[in-house]
Amino acid sequence: MALTSNVHDKGRWERFRDSDFFFAFKRSPVALVSFTIVCILVFSAVFAPWIAPTNPFNPASLNLMDGFTPPMEPNAFTGTRFLMGTDDQGRDVFSTILYGMRVSLFVGASAVLFAMVLGIVLGLVSGYFGGWTETIIMRIADVQLTFPSILVAMLIFGIAKGFTPVEYRDQMAIWVLILAIGLSDWVQFARVVRGTTLVEKKKDYVAAALLIGRRPWAIMIKHILPNALSPVLVIATISLALAIIAEATLSFLGVGAPPTQPSLGTLIRIGQGFLFSGEWWILFFPACTLLVLALSVNLLGDWLRDALNPRLR
């Protein structure tokens, strides 16, 4: 059996399984653990409606008398037990975390995707065309780098909010948040892609592609971009952790996800009001979840950088 499998052409999965990349992954406990944690968290966020014991955002299902129940202890009035306790409205903290993580991950991932697309396009354009286009785009990037990204995000969020009619603000808040974080985060992608483009565009295969009459867009995307994909992937992973934290920061400051669609940051903000009075669990569990989520994504990103870029090892 083993012999035959050695003879026939390897499938994609087998090629992946035999690659250096997978080998490095198997050998790295950090990568294994953080990958498992990220998988569990993403899975439970995506399937929150089926996993969560209650839907905390259906007001009809709440019982106010369940409020302020400590974790694992029975409520004084209703006798109900909750894994992570309840908040002031009697919402199950565990369920709110699952739903909150959905918002956090969705905003984080969408913002990174947005930043990535924007950064890749601008990086390719400025690297390939050069001249004024490059100067303008890269100077904007330089200027933006001098501001902390959270400040840029707050600025964009504030302006966008001003243009949204009051009645749509809550629905729009999530999208505005994605836009704000995405716009504050495109610079890194643009710089990396531009650097690769500058190197690659002078190579013979690009000249050959030009000679046979391929259009600039086709050359940029089909020929040059694949060379930049590994660093982009690494930056995207690390940006994801940063975007999740940026979203939590904005929501904590009260300018992010609204209480009707709370993210982990909103939950931490709500919980902060009960810290002095001893209801620690309303703050503690969302904060821990955020910590674990951001840390595992970050460690995974770090490992990815090492694995994909052997020169750094």
Residues engaged in binding other proteins (CB under 8 A): 58-60, 62, 64-65, 67-68, 77, 88-90, 166-167, 170, 259-260, 272-279
63 vs 230, which CB is nearer to other proteins?
A: 63
Strand pairing partners for 92?
A: 86
Closer of 9 and 167 to other proteins (Cβ): 167
Helix/strand/coil for 62? coil
Question: 67 or 265, CB closer to other proteins?
Answer: 67
Query: Is 103:112 a contact under the CB 8 Å cutoff?
Result: no
**CB of 181 within 8 A of CB of 153?**
yes
Smallest distance from the beta carbon of 214 to other proteins, in angstroms? 53
- Which of 283, 287, 263 lies closest to 99 in space, CA to CA? 263
Residue number with CB closer to other proteins (103 or 152): 103
Rg of the Cα atoms in the chain: 24
Nearest to other proteins of 167, 204 (CB atom): 167
Name beta bridge partners: 74. Answer: 81
Residue 74 in contact with residue 65, Cβ under 8 Å? Answer: no
HSE toward the beta carbon, residue 22, CA cutoff 13 A: 8
DSSP-assigned states of every residue in 235-281:
HHHHHHHHHHHHHHHHHHTTSSS-TTS--HHHHHHHHHTTTTTT-TH
CB of 72 to other proteins, least distance (A): 19
Cβ at position 291, least distance to other proteins in Å: 21
Backbone dihedral region for residue 312 (phi beyond 0: left; psi -120 to 50: alpha; all else: beta): alpha
Give the helix ranges, DSSP H, for the chain.
2-7, 12-17, 20-27, 29-46, 48-51, 93-129, 131-146, 149-163, 169-183, 186-200, 204-211, 216-218, 225-252, 264-272, 281-308
Residue closer to other proteins by CB (options 64, 199) is 64
Residue 100 C-beta: closest distance to other proteins, Å? 16
Of 19 and 260, the one with the shorter C-beta distance to other proteins is 260
Least distance from C-beta 273 to other proteins, angstroms?
A: 5
Rounded Cα gap, residues 311 and 313, in angstroms: 6
Tell me the closest approach of the beta carbon of residue 73 to other proteins, in angstroms: 15
3-class DSSP state of 74? strand
Instruction: Report the nearest approach of other proteins to the CB of residue 80 (Å).
Output: 14
HSE on the CB side for 188, CA within 13 Å?
20
CB-nearer residue toward other proteins: 165 or 213: 165
- Asked if 257 contacts 251 with a C-beta cutoff of 8 angstroms, the reply is yes
Q: Which is nearer to other proteins, 6 or 58 (by Cβ)?
A: 58
